[in-house]
Structure 1
Amino acid sequence: MDGDGRLATLLGTDRRRLTLGAVLVLVLAAVAAAVLLSATSAARPATVVPVLAPTAPAAQDAVVLVHVLGAVRRPGLYPLPAGSRVVDALAAAGGLAEGADAAGVNLARRVADGEQLRVPVAGEVAAPTSGEPERVDLNTATEEQLATLPRIGPSLAARIVEWREEHGSFSSADDLLQVSGLGQKTVDGLRDLVVP
């Protein structure tokens, strides 16, 4: 083989090596970029967006009428799908008005056809309205029934039942003061809503 032939063979081998080397460098660069991108996205905290599932109506075309008044933006009479809850009725009424006491109503309670739902202003205790029980018997009410009272949620209702089981029956609304988490203001607001 003459000198020119050997030189051509060597140059061809060097070009293949260069091409192979360049491809290898590009592959390594791509892998490094992918690892870096993965590490960067893993370092960022995930954004959690709460999603509220719509309330499923009892029947496709069933509608209940609810009169929403008090501390809401647009008081009025609203048709809602059967099975709707207080939160749905408040949304239909434009939401709570400034100064409204959201703790004064049970947002999770289902609404009834023909109900009048009154949202109190902060510091005011909501009186019983149509569609809600007028008085709750402290000595026989279930946790669910107690939780319908203003400012009494599931945990306080459970404590009331627990106190009743440990100490016997309530003789007056003032006995509620012995239940952990209930203060004078709340008990005063419940006097006309409960029967001991």
Structure 2
Amino acid sequence: MAAQKEGVERAFSLVKEYQVSLILALAGLAFIGVGLSAGKLFSNNSEPQFIAGEKSQTQATNNVQAEISDKININTATEKELDSLPGIGPVRAEKIIENRPYESIEDLLNKKVLGEATFENIKDKIATE
């Protein structure tokens, strides 16, 4: 009986040694993983790295500038440029030019240069800056 008890105790002590080794190995791997992640995060690459879903300030600014540049500036546009807008012919284009300057696109309504329906058709295509 004593030999059996000694064998069981020895088996459990080996299991405990393996458990300790396994725990230490896993802790070491976790530590290495954290180190690698931090290294990638703080590495000095020439190209910035962005997390998916983020937009850089430069990209956002460029998008806004592109959106504005696609619009026709009613304070500086030529008659031909204004005539290219839906519902604006040469007569209305000339009227827009005669009533300049405009502080906002709503001034086209305030100065009675355009009616509500025409304004609604072009408001997303015009700007004052």
TM-score, length-normalised on structure 1? 0.29
Question: Is the helix fraction higher in 1 or 2?
Answer: 2
Question: Is the strand fraction higher in 1 or 2?
Answer: 1
Structure of greater Rg: 2
TM-score, length-normalised on structure 2? 0.42
Which structure would you say has the larger RCO, counting Cα contacts within 8 Å and 6 or more residues apart? 2
